[in-house]
Amino acid sequence: MAARPFVTLAFAQSLDGSIALPGQRIELSGPESMKMTHELRAAHDGILVGVGTVIIDDPKLTVRLASGPNPQPIVLDSTLRLPLTASLLNHPDHPLWVAATDPEPNRQSALEALGARVLRLPPASDGRVNLPALLERLGGLGIQTLMVEGGASVITSFLQQRLAHRLVVTISPQLLGGVKAVAALAESVPLRNPAFRALGQDIILEADLF
Ligand SMILES: NC(=O)c1ccc[n+]([C@@H]2O[C@H](COP(=O)([O-])OP(=O)(O)OC[C@H]3O[C@@H](n4cnc5c(N)ncnc54)[C@H](OP(=O)(O)O)[C@@H]3O)[C@@H](O)[C@H]2O)c1
């Protein structure tokens, strides 16, 4: 069995813990924190988001504001809802990996024709991608370090299942009243060795998790 990757959970939030407004992409990080996020991307083998983020934000997940390699992009997408026009399907270095549980064959063929690789995984009890199984698969594919960038459902799943090792949160000096980064945890998650620093107008919190 391959070793699971070291997982860093990284996201930007407002002071009230919101990462977005419903159905919208919001720029929360200042320029200095954005650069830090790109440096963090370059320091990881893989970068993972949920299909909700792809549908709303259409991210590239590349390293553009720092120097270093682009991590392998991975999307959690049980039934392949990923838009065929997603920017991640035009990645400069890596074919997109899509983690699915129940891929519709025509949809899978269409994504594969665009260069994507569909990783078939067992479902968790809620029918979504079984994250421990995914991490083992990614370890077997050579991903030793994984950055998880969101969105809210994915952040919550990794925390709920205690699968992340490190937390890096950019706290932006604004109140948004939007979609909370973390929803409904069964029990509170204590942070170990928390360290805060100012970066431009933002505050960066780094801490160890489980
Ligand atoms: N501020 C930030 O740093 C930041 C970063 C990223 C995103 N965002 C924001 O976050 C919002 C999107 O968040 P979201 O919660 O709607 O979507 P999301 O977390 O990006 O994606 C959630 C989807 O991923 C799929 N998934 C498959 N397996 C999963 C699992 N084990 N656990 C959780 N999800 C799994 C599910 O869809 P299926 O059931 O179809 O598989 C689920 O609905 C956007 O507004 C975006 O702007 C903010």
Single-letter code of the amino acid located at 181: A
User: Does the CB atom of residue 37 touch ligand 1 within 6 A?
Assistant: no
The pLDDT > 90 percentage for the chain reads: 97
According to the model, what pLDDT value does residue 2 have?
84
The minimum-distance atom of ligand 1 relative to the CA of 124 is 31
Pocket test for ligand 1, best of 154, 155, 182, 205 (most atoms within 8 A of CB): 154
Query: In this predicted model, what pLDDT tens digit does every residue of 132-149 receive, in sequence order?
Result: 999 999 999 999 999 999
The Cα 93–Cα 111 span in angstroms is 17
The Cα 157–Cα 89 span in angstroms is 25
What is the distance in A from the centroid of ligand 1 to the CA of 53?
Answer: 5
Query: In this predicted model, what pLDDT tens digit does every residue of 86-128 receive, in sequence order?
Result: 999 999 999 999 999 999 999 999 999 999 999 999 999 999 9
What is the distance in A from the centroid of ligand 1 to the CA of 191?
Answer: 23
Q: Which residue has the higher pLDDT, 112 or 183?
A: 112
pLDDT at 210 over 90: no
Pocket test for ligand 1, best of 37, 55, 76 (most atoms within 8 A of CB): 76
The Cα 200–Cα 58 span in angstroms is 26
User: Does the CB atom of residue 156 touch ligand 1 within 6 A?
Assistant: no
The minimum-distance atom of ligand 1 relative to the CA of 155 is 19
Is the Cβ–Cβ distance between 171 and 188 less than 8 Å?
Answer: no
Confidence at 1, pLDDT banded by 50, 70, 90: confident
3-state secondary structure 36-92: HHHHHHHCCCEEEEEHHHHHHHCCCCCCCCCCCCCCEEEEECCCCCCCCCCHHHHCC
Which pTM value belongs to this model? Answer: 0.98
User: Does the CB atom of residue 49 touch ligand 1 within 6 A?
Assistant: yes
According to the model, what pLDDT value does residue 83 have?
98
Mean pLDDT score, 47-54: 98
Closest CA to 36 of 196, 168, 151: 168
Taking 3-state DSSP, the helix, strand and coil percentages for the chain, each rounded to the nearest 5, stand at 25, 30, 45
Q: What residue ranges define each of the domains in the chain, with the CATH number in brackets?
A: 6-208 (3.40.430.10)
User: Does the CB atom of residue 70 touch ligand 1 within 6 A?
Assistant: no
